[in-house]
Structures are given as C-alpha cells and as structure tokens.
Amino acid sequence: MEIIGALLALRIVGASHLMQDERFNEANFVTLIIEAYKKNLA
C-alpha cells in the first residue's frame, strides 16, 4: 500500500512541476489526479 501512495505522490509532484513550467493547466491537472486515483484503486 505504501508503494501505491508513493507512486501517486510522485505523479502529483511531477504534474505540479509541469504546471509551474506552464506546460500543464489546472483542468488537465485535476483530470490527471482523478485518473490516477481510479487506476490505483482499481
């Protein structure tokens, strides 16, 4: 379970970095987080 949490955290950090570089917008960030939750909980 800790590995799943770590992978999810890594995705969030990566997406946050892309948002700061203005390569990623907020709507796509929210979609990414929702899809990541779905994938990790399935």
Q: What is the pLDDT of residue 7?
A: 78
Q: What is the pLDDT of residue 1?
A: 67
**CA–CA separation, 33 and 8 (whole Å):** 8
Q: Is this prediction's pTM over 0.95?
A: no
Where helices occur in 1-42 by DSSP H, the ranges are 2-20, 26-41
Taking the CA atoms of 6, 8, 9 and 13 in sequence, report the sign of the dihedral they define: positive
Write the CA distances from 23 to 1, 29, 38, 42, integer angstroms.
Answer: 31, 11, 23, 29
Q: What is the pLDDT of residue 37?
A: 78
The residue ranges of every structural domain in the chain are 2-41
Walking along the chain (42 residues) 10 residues at a time, the average pLDDT comes out as 79 79 77 80 66
